[in-house]
Structure 1
Amino acid sequence: MLLEISGLPLHPLVVHAVVVLLPLATLGALAVAARPRWAGAYGPLVTVLAVVGAVAAFVAQQAGEALQAHLLSQGDPLDGFGDHSALGHMVLYLGVAFALAAVVSTVLARRAGAGSRPHRVAAWLAAGLGVAATAYAYLAGESGASSVWGYLFA
């Protein structure tokens, strides 16, 4: 079943949430990792952004699969979209890992202290996963945009 909002496929709409929230959360995670004393004030915000970004990645993936199935049922060949799907799955996996690491980092900052070794390790792990999720979001977005524009104007 094709998921739509006002006649537009949901996938390209919700993807914009992913490409805004994951990089924004990543910048916050890098800041918290570099300045642990900011963890108390900004750690929860980073965590919320990462979790919402991961949820948006899940919705984007589900909506993308529905869009793909709809296009295939209409007889569209969808040549060149294979990389986009695989990259999108990586965004989801890395986004969820980033969100989980951000939660752990925030919990450790509150329990063990923002300057504690466990928090610092978790904060840098979250930041690294955020960078990876952001990089894959860029690659998936570039792949999807190139595929769609190539498809429309081939």
Structure 2
Amino acid sequence: MSTIDGLPAHVLLVHMIVVLVPLTAAALVAAALSPSAARRLGLVLPLLALAVLIAVPVTTDAGEWLERHVDDNALVRRHTELGDTLLPWVVGLFVMAAVVWWLGRRAQAEAGGAGGSARLATPVRLVVALLSLGVAVGAVADVYRIGESGARAAWHDSFSTSGPERGDD
């Protein structure tokens, strides 16, 4: 995908990433920490993570097209390099979302039964919660770093903080 309605697709698609990655990360952490949140989110959580997993390569591909159509400079190269680091994080979001969803379904199915599964549930939930938190923080931090580098590449030398202001006087 190269353009949407005459605009570079990357500059439009990137907004989807900026919204969906933190939203997915927050939902993942909530579901990993709270069984009731996991029940309420249900299948929405892994489907949201899947949407992010699909959107990142599409956005990256659109960014690579845009890179070939702008002036080459160090800021653009840095943004492109950082952009390639997000996919492993969103793979992690998807995997952990699927695990949290599966564990939630399993816990619901075993709710009527007793035995050793209740003792195992707490350590497993703790590990899953810690892994989910780590992946969520990493993904959001990476989106921030990539976005900040993209903003620098797009806006450096494009405005003045001391020049005349334009307004509706």
Q: TM-score range by the shorter chain?
A: 0.7 to 0.9
- Counterpart of 1:83, as a letter, is R
1:142 and 2:145 aligned: no
Give me the CA root mean square deviation.
Answer: 2.3
d(CA) in 1 for partners of 2:136, 2:49: 8
> Which residues of structure 1 form unaligned runs of 5+?
none
* Range that drifts further, 120-129 or 101-110: 120-129
d(CA) in 2 for partners of 1:91, 1:151: 27
Equivalent residue, structure 2, for 1:80: 75
d(CA) in 1 for partners of 2:49, 2:133: 11
* Range that drifts further, 135-144 or 108-117: 108-117
Q: Is residue 67–residue 76 contact of structure 2 (8 Å, CA) maintained in 1? A: no
TM-aligned CA distance change 1:9 to 1:41, over 3 Å: same
Listed one character per residue, the Cα deviations across residues 39-95 of structure 1 (whole Å, up to 9, x for unaligned) are: 122142222222212221111111111111233xxxx22332222112211112211
Number of residue equivalences: 149
Overall identity of the aligned pairs, in %: 37
Equivalences for residues 108-119 of structure 1 within 5 A: 108-113=103-108, 116=121, 117-119=123-125
Equivalent residue, structure 1, for 2:92: 97
Q: CA deviation at 1:118?
A: 3.2
Q: Is residue 109–residue 119 contact of structure 1 (8 Å, CA) maintained in 2? A: no
Q: Which has the higher helix share?
A: 1
> Which residues of structure 2 form unaligned runs of 5+?
112-117, 161-169
Q: For residue 38 of structure 1, give the secondary structure of its aligned residue in structure 2.
A: helix
Q: Is residue 31–residue 41 contact of structure 2 (8 Å, CA) maintained in 1? A: yes
Structure number, greater radius of gyration: 2
Equivalent residue, structure 1, for 2:128: 122
d(CA) in 1 for partners of 2:137, 2:58: 21
Equivalent residue, structure 2, for 1:68: 67
- Counterpart of 1:84, as a letter, is H
Q: CA deviation at 1:151?
A: 6.0
d(CA) in 2 for partners of 1:78, 1:153: 18
Q: Is residue 28–residue 45 contact of structure 2 (8 Å, CA) maintained in 1? A: yes
d(CA) in 2 for partners of 1:122, 1:22: 19
Q: Is residue 50–residue 98 contact of structure 1 (8 Å, CA) maintained in 2? A: yes
Q: Is residue 75–residue 152 contact of structure 2 (8 Å, CA) maintained in 1? A: no
Equivalences for residues 35-50 of structure 1 within 5 A: 35-50=34-49
Q: CA deviation at 1:152?
A: 4.5
Equivalent residue, structure 2, for 1:25: 24
Equivalent residue, structure 1, for 2:33: 34
d(CA) in 1 for partners of 2:60, 2:157: 20
Q: Is residue 112–residue 119 contact of structure 1 (8 Å, CA) maintained in 2? A: no
